[in-house]
Chain A
Amino acid sequence: MSASDVQATVIAPRTQHSAPRWTAVLLASMTAIALASCGGAGGGSKSHTNAGAGTPVNGGTLRAAMVSNPDHLDPALAYSTETWEMLAATNDSLVTFKRASGNAGNEIVPDLATAMPKVTDHGTTYTFHVHPGVKFSPPVNRAVQPSDIKFSIERLFRVNSPGVGFYTDIRGAAEYEKTKRGGISGIVADNRAHTITFHLVQRDGTFLEYLAMPFADAVPVGTPDKDVSTDPRWRIATGPYMFKSYTPQGSITIVRNPNFHQWTPNIPNGHLDEIHVTIGTSPDQAVNEIADGDLDYYFEAVAPDRLAAISKQYPSQVHTYTRNALLYFTLNGRKPPMNNVKVRQAINYAVDRPALVKIFGGQGTPTENLIPSGMTAYKPHHFYPYNLAKAKSLVDASGTKGMAVQVWASSTDPQPEAAQYMASVLNSLGYHATVKTMSEGIYYDTVANEATDPQVSYNEWDEDFPEAEDYVDAQFNGRYITKIGTNDNSNLNVPSLNRQMNKVREMAIGPAREAQWAKLDAEIMKTQAPIVPFMNRDFPKFYSSRLHGLVFNATFYELFPSMWLSK
Chain B
Amino acid sequence: MSVQAPDLNVVDGPAVLAAPAADAVGNWRAAWRRLRRNRAAMIAGAVFIFILFASFPGATLWVHLVAHRGPNVQNLQGVIMSGGRKVPVVSADGTPIGPGFRGEYLLGADANGRDLFVRLLYGGRTSLTVGIASALLCTLLALILGIPAGYYGGIVDRSVSRLLDLIWSFPVYLLAIAISASLIVGGLDIGPIHISSSSLLIPIIVIAVVYIPYIARPIRGEVLALRRREFVEASIAHGAGPVRVMTREILPNVAATTLVLFTLIIANNILTEAALSFLGVGVSVLTPSWGNIIQEGYSTMVTAPWQTLAPGIAIMLTAISLNVLGDGLRDALDPHGRRRGGGR
A residues adjacent to B (C-beta < 8 A): 282-284, 287-288, 303-309, 352, 354-356, 358-363, 411, 413-414, 416-417, 420-421, 423-424, 427, 433-437
Chain A positions within 8 Å of B93 at CB level: 304, 307-308, 358, 361-362
Asked if residues A416 and B285 are in contact (CB atoms below 8 Å), the reply is: yes
Chain A positions within 8 Å of B76 at CB level: 352, 355-356, 358-359, 421
Select the stretch in B2-10, B217-225, B295-303 that faces chain A. B295-303
Cβ-based interface call for B335 (8 A): no
Cβ-based interface call for B112 (8 A): yes
Separation of A288 and B299 alpha carbons in the complex (Å):
13
Where chain B touches its partner, the secondary structure class is loop
Chain B positions within 8 Å of A287 at CB level: 302
Asked if residues B286 and A284 are in contact (CB atoms below 8 Å), the reply is: no
Taking a contact as CB atoms closer than 8 A, the residue among B72, B196, B299 that contacts A283 in the complex is: B299
Asked if residues A414 and B280 are in contact (CB atoms below 8 Å), the reply is: no
Chain B positions within 8 Å of A421 at CB level: 74, 76, 112
Asked if residues A304 and B185 are in contact (CB atoms below 8 Å), the reply is: no
Q: Give me 23 A-to-B residue pairs in the complex whose CB atoms sit less than 8 angstroms apart, sorted by A's number.
A: A287-B302, A304-B94, A305-B300, A305-B303, A306-B302, A306-B303, A307-B93, A355-B74, A355-B76, A355-B77, A358-B113, A362-B92, A362-B93, A363-B94, A414-B111, A414-B299, A420-B74, A421-B74, A423-B286, A424-B72, A434-B284, A434-B286, A435-B286
Rounded to whole Å, the gap between the CB of A195 and the closest CB of chain B is 51
Cβ-based interface call for B126 (8 A): no
The 10 closest A-B pairs by CB, nearest first: A355-B76, A361-B94, A362-B93, A413-B299, A305-B303, A434-B198, A305-B300, A417-B111, A362-B92, A358-B94
Cβ-based interface call for B197 (8 A): yes
Rounded to whole Å, the gap between the CB of A536 and the closest CB of chain B is 16
Cβ-based interface call for B38 (8 A): no
Separation of A303 and B296 alpha carbons in the complex (Å):
14
Separation of A174 and B338 alpha carbons in the complex (Å):
82
Number of interface residues of B (CB under 8 A): 29
Asked if residues B280 and A437 are in contact (CB atoms below 8 Å), the reply is: yes
Taking a contact as CB atoms closer than 8 A, the residue among A308, A359, A427 that contacts B111 in the complex is: A359
Separation of A354 and B93 alpha carbons in the complex (Å):
11
Asked if residues A359 and B112 are in contact (CB atoms below 8 Å), the reply is: yes
Separation of A420 and B198 alpha carbons in the complex (Å):
14
Asked if residues B94 and A360 are in contact (CB atoms below 8 Å), the reply is: yes
Asked if residues A284 and B198 are in contact (CB atoms below 8 Å), the reply is: no
Contact with A along B290-318 (1 / 0, CB 8 A): 00000010011111100000000000000
Chain B positions within 8 Å of A417 at CB level: 111-112, 296
- Knowing A359-B111, A414-B111 touch, does A420 contact B94 (C-beta < 8 A)? no
Cβ-based interface call for B333 (8 A): no
Chain B positions within 8 Å of A413 at CB level: 299
Asked if residues B286 and A358 are in contact (CB atoms below 8 Å), the reply is: no
Asked if residues A284 and B301 are in contact (CB atoms below 8 Å), the reply is: yes
Chain B positions within 8 Å of A304 at CB level: 93-94
Chain A positions within 8 Å of B299 at CB level: 282-284, 303, 305, 413-414
